[in-house]
Amino acid sequence: MGEKSKNGYLDFEIDLKLKESPFQFEVDFKVPEVEKFVVDEPPDTGGEGKGSNASRLLASATGFCLSANLAF
């Protein structure tokens, strides 16, 4: 996933590529095992609804983090 830097933190990078609509981006975590995915806003807020929006991604990341901590 990444390499530890001199300060002990895990270093990583992601690429965001602007797609067709102004709110649509392709996300690449730069990890061969992880597929790229699209982030977009719903049509009622100016997007095309072709992917999850940032709020849903943040909510799922928070839920995953809390659930993983409770499980282990």
How much is the pLDDT for 67?
95
Reported as a single tens digit per residue, the pLDDT across 38-54 is 999 999 999 999 999 99
Structure tokens given for 42 = 């719903």
Q: How many angstroms separate the CA atoms of 33 and 8, rounded?
A: 24
Reported as a single tens digit per residue, the pLDDT across 1-34 is 556 666 666 778 899 999 988 899 999 999 889 9
For the chain, what are the domain ranges? 15-71
DSSP 7-68: TSPEE---EEEE-SSTT-EEEE-S-TTS--EEE---GGGTS--SSB-HHHHHHHHHHHHHHH
How much is the pLDDT for 7?
67
Q: State the first-to-last Cα distance of the chain, in angstroms, to the nearest integer.
A: 20
**Kindly report the CA angle at 27 between 63 and 54, in degrees rounded to 5?**
45
**Whole-structure pTM value:** 0.74
How much is the pLDDT for 5?
65
